[in-house]
Every structure is written in structure tokens, then in C-alpha cells.
Chains A and B, each alone.
Chain A
Amino acid sequence: MVKNWQRAGFGLYIHWPFCQSKCPYCDFNSHVSSNIDHEAWTKAYLSEISKNHHHSSEKILSTVFFGGGTPSLMPSKTIEAIITHILSLWKTSNQLEITLEANPSSIDVSRFKEYKSAGVNRVSIGVQSLDNISLKYLGRLHNGKDAITAVQTAQSIFDRVSFDLIYARQNQTIKDWEKELLSALSLGTNHMSLYQLTIEDGTVFGDRAKIGKLPGLPSEDLSADMYTLTQEIMNNNRLPLYEVSNHAFPGEESRHNLIYWRGGDFIGIGPGAHGRYYEGPKRKATVMAKSPNKWLSQIDEVGHGAEPTTILSKSEEALEYLMMSARLVEGTDLKFLKSLDLNLIKHKNIKGLIELGVILIKNERMILTPKGRPILNSVLSELIS
């Protein structure tokens, strides 16, 4: 029988929780800190990785992802130590993908070269915008020129470079976005993540929005139009969508993120990192202590940084798989879904949604149509209602 990690891959996520400054829209587990004891952090990562080797030692590792926060602030020594350690523990696939998230304001040619020799082979840069005023609005420390330089620097060192843009920003018109996207495309990367700005509770933007001090956000119709236009432009530039917000030249998809979306196995290391993996027949859900200090001290005091592990029920597993896979253009493997839970989605609901033209079924896969994808949340809630 095919194991889950064989079906959908096995990856390792490393969370680095520090940034130079906190962006007003961001609710990632990221913090600004001036004194980081890098030796202690390195030690902590290594020991947590070792601890997590036991339950998955037989699996072949296909991806490693350094996310954050801002991992491009990590000393290359730390990265190297972590990668070396991982390689000493696991067998890896031939094309082991090792991604590192980078911020344009912390890109340094020599350090990037060191990352590369440590084994990093893909970078994902938080460009967010190419417009200086917008970048200020977004609280970023870099300007448009820095961003372009950062991408070009990365391209000169790495074969696989991706970058993130945030659009549907305050007062952004569809024309503004078109122009910005086209100039971003001219950088010629083979992967781009295009996120519409989400206002998250507990962020500076969230607080402002609550008191009505965040004017100029797009209406539902404008954001839908922007999304549609984005698909058109990206298709024309041979970077089609493969997930709600992710575009790649075919074959250049983020293999690590695909593991999440396909319901594969992954281990999460670092403050607040989540993991999902099978241990025997049981699917485990793990999360580590969220606060960086707590995580570090807990490792010292009780020997690990994890919160209590939970075991997912089959119906929870099914729900997670559905929610993640529906984001993908390749869609949801209905046979696999049914093997987890026969009753999660009712035939009658599927029928209704097909009639509405928001989903289609092909080769036993359920796929959101271009009309359905932008309203995925509603489709999901209807599917399981």
C-alpha cells in the first residue's frame, strides 16, 4: 500500500520567528528582537529535529522550507548546521528542494552564496510591491529599486527564485495593479505568489479597520475583477495559477507547499510551527510553543518545544484534506477523500454546486472552476453543510 508520504510527499518546515521590523498587515509569528543568542537557537533547532526524526525515520525527505519571520536574517552558520544535520538523519529524494524566505532589506550577496553552498536551492522574496509609496504604507523597509535588486541578486545565485506581491491594497486601482504586475513579470522569475491583502485581527491594519480608519480597500467586485485580470495576465505570461494565490511555470511549483495542499506529511520545527504526519495509522497534529522565548526555554527545561500532540479523527483528516486540496488547480482526489470519510460531503451538495457552475468533477477529482475558485470559502461551507 502506498504510504501517505509516498502519495503526497514528506517535508520539513523550520520557523525563524524574527524580523527587522513588524509589518502592519502581518500576523505571522514574527517578532523584533535585538539580542538573539544564535548558538542557543542553533542548538535548539538541531535537538528538535533529532527528536522528530524518530517517528518519521523511514520516510524519504523531499523538501525543507525555512520560513518566518525573516529567515534571510539567519546566520549562514545556523542554516548550514541545520541542513547538515537534516541530511545526516534522513534519506532524501534526488531533487531535494530547500527553500528560504528572504526579505529584500536583508539580502546580502555573500551570505546568499553561503546559503547556497549550505544547500539552499530556492528563495522566496517578500517584495510585496514595486511602488515606493505603497511599500511605505505596507511598513516595508525597502523601496522598489531594492526589491528589484534583491530579485536580480537572488537570480544570479539561485536557479529557482520566487517572490511575493500583495495587491488589492488601499486605493489601488485595477490599472495600477496591471502596471505593477507587468513590471514584476519582467523580472522573469519562474514562480510568483500574488496575495490579495487580507486584514487580520490583532494587526495594526486590523485595529485600524475596526475603527474605520483603513479607507480605500477594494469592494468585493473590484477585488474579484483584480483577481480575474491577474489570471489573464499570468496565463499570458506562462505563469499559470496552480493554487489560489500561487503561479508557476509548469514544473516550478513550490514542492514544499504542495505537500501542505495535497495533505502530505510534514514536520514543523520552531516557535508556533505546525506539523502533520502519520505515525502508523494515526495522523498526528503537532504545534510548538508559540512564543520564541517560551519555545527556547521549554526545550531547556522539559527537553522539547512542543505543545501536546493531538491525533486527528478520520473526519478531521478529511476536512483538512478537503480544505487544502480545494485550493489547488489540480483539485481534490475524491477517492482519497472518501477513504478518509465517506460522509463529509453529500452528493446532493456536489450536484447543486455543479449546477451553479462553481465546481466540476473530472477523473474522480473535484476541481473548482474559475468562477468557483474566488468564492472557495462559500463553496467549502456549502460542500460540508
Chain B
Amino acid sequence: MTDLSKIRNFSIVAHIDHGKSTLADRLIQETGTVSQRDMKEQLLDTMDIERERGITIKANTVRLDYLSDDGQDYVLNLIDTPGHVDFAYEVSRSMRAVEGSLLVVDSTQGVEAQTLANVYQAIDADHEIVPILNKIDLPASDCDKVAEQIEDVIGIDASGAIFVSAKTGQGIHQTLEAIISMLPPPLGDSKAPLKAMLVDSWYDAYLGVIVLVRVIDGFLKKGDRVRMMSNNSVHHVEKIGVFRPEMEAVDLLGPGEIGFITASIKQVRDTRVGDTITHEKNGTLVALDGFKPSQPVVFCGLFPIDSSLFEDLRSSIEKLSLNDASFSYEMETSAALGFGFRCGFLGLLHLEVVRDRVEREFDIELITTAPSVIYHIYMRDGEFIELHNPADMPDLTHVDHMEEPRIKATILVPDEYLGDVLKLCQDRRGIQLELTYAGSRAMVVYDLPLNEVVFDFYDRLKSISKGYASFDYQMLEYRTDNLVKLQVLVNEEPVDALSIMVHRDRAEQRGRMMCEKLKDLIPRHMFKIPIQAAIGGRIVARETLAAMRKDVTAKCYGGDVTRKKKLLEKQKAGKKKMRQFGKVNIPQEAFISALKMDN
């Protein structure tokens, strides 16, 4: 075991892309945890999707050994966290496992919405915070201004802020020293019964479920019989170790330490993050507070384009959910799309990540239906319905009233884009709660309907502010409003996968927009196709997709029929990427793109 005073546990938190993972790289490198040869950029981002998109999705833990300037050896446990708002839950639970946070702020960008959100969470978790001003190698870096912002906007002391370039390694040594001097060592009692926090768990194809633990009191050893206090299930600890960042076995984990165990647990769902782990016998009596579970907020249907692949889809979704307990799924049937799953996600990026993984890791092409939130429906007869899918909307005549979820959104934006941002929020039925300034940047707080945000709000915000606005949100409450179901009919047939819930006042405009979009998204057919939007039985918008007029290849190559055959095959393959509704083929991307509101 390591002496408590020689341990420092911390998370690295920041707004997206401010350089958390790169800073983690430098800390790993400077402490010699990974050989120079094995080093690569954003070493901890190991998933394909993480590497491809250059973002962190899953928090990662590493144990570092550090010989400090004071001549003492320390053990540092670092948790690199994701920056995107969808994965805020990863950040909050990571924070519960450590005593301090490195708050990374990109000194070319300044304080952003997630910077704020992270600070509030860190304060909630009683963390010491070390501000890190990153990217000082860039010409646009302005440390004084950003330090001032930190003090003004966040209200924390920035005098101890460290100037760092996670790229060049400048300031890394000072960062390590600040971790030792500014962050508190963990508290814990080695003589007390075992009390460990179940921080996270995931599935590994070879080892089964791996559980990330933080020991509070007592010791955890290989061979121990441990009990999960939430459900009293008992497990036998098979492997125990730490991440460096590869798994490395250790004999035991003592107070203040962070590591992993395996205990022949089959499913991630059998573990509960935030749970308290103790010994089967003579265990602790007092459980930790636990974490609030994450709640999916965005729902959509996932259907295989090739309907014969439904069973494959089922097994791939089951496999993915082994690893990601934060998304929910249940079977769904659609008149037009057949069998699929209604899945719940933490946000749109989360949705994209899961969809991408199904398509790539399991090679199943998907149709994703319009994302929706959960509506509360109060029926005339007193019945209460949670509506996850607009297709299931009951007949309006039986509905007494309906409620939709509202959020509190915090947006930070440079002055010059404020007008557009306000307009965007207003267009999305927002109610302004606050508007304050910090230097040349405004902070606006809006009360917004979640259904106006889940879809393309974030993209729109980014594009109207040229990428400078940042956004964070929290759930607020359910509130009554005048909502209706907007239906789309293609060639006179309703396409339930395109149904959405909208506010009555905006229904016609949305309907028009969707029809216009679909007109561009659906390829021409040999006949003309009416595209209509309807509320109840009433048509509110209509477009007509003209019939195809020309596609023949002009030149027929001297006797070379093979080329033409290839073309036909290509056409066939193209059709496979579409789903047939009546006589009309609709391409998969249409279901999402039709909803985008970019004008």
C-alpha cells in the first residue's frame, strides 16, 4: 500500500478540445509511465471513434509514479474525462473518485460553457482546483485575459494558474509539482472495514466485466469475497490491478488508491456505478452516498436497412450495451420500417457514437428515425403515458394535456454573435433567464424545450457563432404546452418514422421545411411524388418531387458490357441503402437530414 500522504488523485476537466487528453499524454510521458517508443497522441483515447473524431468519450484512469522536487516518491492517479456535454455524467462520477481537479482552459479560447459546468461540479465534489492555462505555444494565446476571465466569470483564484503547452511540454513539471503541493492527499482508514466506491465498469472480451474502484477504507485483495451493498450480491475477486495505462496486477489496493478488479461478473448491468463494495464478512455498515444514475434524454428508432438483419442488430445492441449502461433499448415495430429498436441516449453525440459503432463494428446499415424526447401525456380518463415515440401518440381527442421537458441552457458567446444566438434561442421557443457580460463575451441562460435542442441546436449554435459559442444544459422540469404530432406522407402514404412532435404554432413552418428537404433528399423516381405534411388529417404543406428525366449513359463502350453491368450493380447497391415505402425508395440519411433546420 502507499502512504496516504504520498497519494494524489485528480481528474482533468475542461471544455471540449481544450487539451485534457494531450495534457494527460505529457504527464504520462514526463513521469516515464510509458516508454517513448509506445507514446502516441491522445494515448488514452483508444476507441476507434475517439481517435477518428479526436474526442474523448470514455473517462480513463492512469496511475503515475512521480519523484517530486521534494525528494519524495508519489503515486498520482489521473482521470482524463470527456469534454462533450453528452458525457457530463462521466465527468461527475469521475470527480467523486478523486480529491482535486486540473481545470484546463485553452488560453486561446477562454472560459467556455463546459468550463463553467465543470467548475460547478468540482465545487460540488469539494475539489481543490488547479487552473491550467493551456496552448500557450499558440500565437493567439492570451493568458492574462483568460486568467482574468477565470476570476470574473468563475470566481476562483487564478493566481496559482499554471501556464502550459500540452503540445510542447512547457509547464508540465510545474503542473506535477502543483499537483503535489496544491491538491490534498486522500483521507482514509486502513484499519476500518473495506469500503470502496464502484466508479465505473465496462466489458472486456477476454476478462469479462472490469470494475474501476476507489478504495476509501480498508484493503481490497485478490481472492477476497466482496459484497455490492446495493443488492447484496457477492463476488469473488479474481484479478486486481492498476492502469499504467495497460493493466498491471497488484497484490492489494489500500485507502486512497484507484484500480480495477474483475470478479466473474457477466454484465455491466449487474454492477451499479456509485455502489459501495465491501467484504462479504465483517463489512462496513455505512454505504457511500452513491451517484444519481444517468438518464437517457434523446430517443430514436434504429432499424436495419436490410430488414433480414434484425437479429444481428439485436445481438449487436446487446453487445454494445454490455459496455455502455447509459443507453437504453427496447424493441420497436414500425409499419414502414419493420422491426427495430427504440433506444435512449444521453444526447445526440452519444446517439451518433452508438449508431456508428453498430454500423462499423457489426456491419449493419441503419435507418435512424427522428430523435425525440419523452413527453408526458395526461389522458382525459386520468391515464398517464410517457411517450417515447411520436408514432405512438394517442388520438388527440382523448388527450387532456401534454407536457414536455424543459432545460436550462447556459451559452457563452462573443459579443458579435450574441444577436444571432438570441434569435436562435427565441426561434426555438426559449425564455431568456439571464444575460450577463464578462469582457467581450456574453453569458446567456435560457429556459428551452429539450425537443428543440436535441436535434440540431448545437450544430446551429456552432455554425452561427463560427464555432465560438459554447453550450451546456441541465434538466429543468416538465411543463405543459400546445404540442401536436406532425406527420409526413410520401406518395400519399404516411411514413411513421418521419413523425415528430412540434409546437402547434410552429407545426406548419416545420412541415413546409421538412417537405422541402425531403424533396431534395429523395432521389427522383420514374413518376412524380407528392410529399406532404399533415396534422391530424389536415395537410399543412406540400411539395412535388418531379419525375426522373435523364440517367442513361451516353456512350456505350465498344462491346464492353461489363461496365454497364457494374453500373446496374451499383444502382442495385444504391437501392439497398434505401428503404422502400410503398413505391418510393427513401435513402437512409433522409430520416435525419429532413429534420435539420438550417435556414
Contacts and interface: CB of A to CB of B under 8 A. Distances in A.
A221 interface: yes
B572 A381 contact: yes
B187 interface: no
B575 interface: yes
Interface in A295-324: 319-320, 323-324
Nearest to B561: A320
B554 A374 contact: no
Given A220-B524, A319-B565, A384-B568, A324 B552 contact: no
B548 to A, nearest CB: 5
A86 interface: no
A276 to B, nearest CB: 7
A374 B558 contact: no
Contact of B551 (A15, A375, A385): A375
A163 interface: no
Contacts of A353: 526
A235 interface: no
A28 interface: yes
Contacts of B548: 220, 375, 378
Contacts of B382: none
Given A323-B564, A323-B568, A356-B527, A196 B559 contact: no
Contacts of B571: 377-378, 381
A59 interface: no
Interface string A210-239: 000000000011011001000000000000
B526 A374 contact: no
Nearest to A225: B549
Nearest to A272: B560
- Size range of the interface on B? 20 to 34
Contacts of A379: 526
Interface in A171-212: 195-198
A224 B550 contact: yes
Given A324-B556, A356-B526, A378 B561 contact: no
A13 B558 contact: yes
Nearest to B556: A327
Contacts of B558: 13, 15, 65, 67, 257, 260, 268, 273-274
Contacts of B247: none
Nearest to A246: B556
Interface in A326-385: 327, 353, 356, 358, 373-382, 384-385
Given A13-B558, A324-B556, A382-B526, A374 B565 contact: no
A274 B551 contact: no
A353 B329 CA distance: 42
A377 B567 contact: yes
Contacts of A385: 572, 575
Interface in B539-569: 546, 548-562, 564-565, 567-568
Contacts of A376: 551-552
A244 interface: yes
Contacts of A273: 558-559
Contacts of B554: 195-198, 244-245
A266 interface: yes
Contacts of B524: 220
Nearest to B552: A376
A9 interface: no
Interface residues of A, number: 47
A275 interface: yes
B556 A377 contact: no
A198 B550 contact: no
Contacts of B556: 243-245, 257, 260-261, 324, 327
Nearest to A379: B526
B555 A245 contact: yes
Contacts of A275: 559
Contacts of A257: 556, 558
Contacts of B559: 13, 260, 266, 268, 273-276
Contacts of A373: 552
Contacts of B546: 221
A245 B524 CA distance: 23
Contacts of A243: 556
B199 to A, nearest CB: 47
Nearest to B569: A381
B526 A358 contact: yes
Nearest to B571: A381
Contacts of B562: 274, 287
A381 B526 contact: no
Contact of B565 (A13, A244, A266, A320): A320
Contacts of A319: 565, 568
B575 to A, nearest CB: 7
B555 A381 contact: no
Contacts of A223: 550
Contacts of A268: 558-559
A268 B561 CA distance: 13
Contacts of B551: 220, 374-378
Interface string A253-286: 0000100110000101000011110000000000
A378 B550 CA distance: 9
A373 B549 CA distance: 9
Contacts of A377: 551-553, 567-568, 571
B419 to A, nearest CB: 32
Nearest to B527: A356
A319 B562 CA distance: 11
Contacts of A224: 549-550
A374 B552 CA distance: 5
Which of B551, B555, B558, B565 has the most C-beta atoms of chain A within 10 angstroms of its own C-beta? B558
Contacts of B557: 28
Contacts of B565: 319-320, 323
A300 to B, nearest CB: 25
Contact of B550 (A197, A220, A261, A324): A220
A297 to B, nearest CB: 23
A90 B554 CA distance: 33
A384 B564 CA distance: 14
Contacts of B526: 353, 356, 358, 375, 378-379, 382
A375 B568 contact: no
A276 B559 CA distance: 8
A376 B551 CA distance: 7
Interface string B60-98: 000000000000000000000000000000000000000
Contacts of A323: 561, 564-565, 568
Contacts of B567: 377
A244 B552 contact: yes
Contacts of A261: 556
Contacts of B564: 323-324
Contact of B549 (A276, A327, A374, A380): A374
A176 to B, nearest CB: 18
A313 to B, nearest CB: 13
B583 to A, nearest CB: 9
Kindly list the 3 A-B residue pairs having the minimum CB-CB distance in the complex, ordered from nearest: A224-B549, A376-B552, A224-B550
10 contacts: A15-B558, A195-B554, A198-B554, A220-B551, A374-B549, A375-B526, A375-B548, A377-B553, A378-B548, A385-B575
Given A353-B526, A377-B553, 4 more contacts: A13-B558, A65-B558, A324-B561, A377-B552
Interface of B: 524-527, 546, 548-562, 564-565, 567-568, 571-572, 575
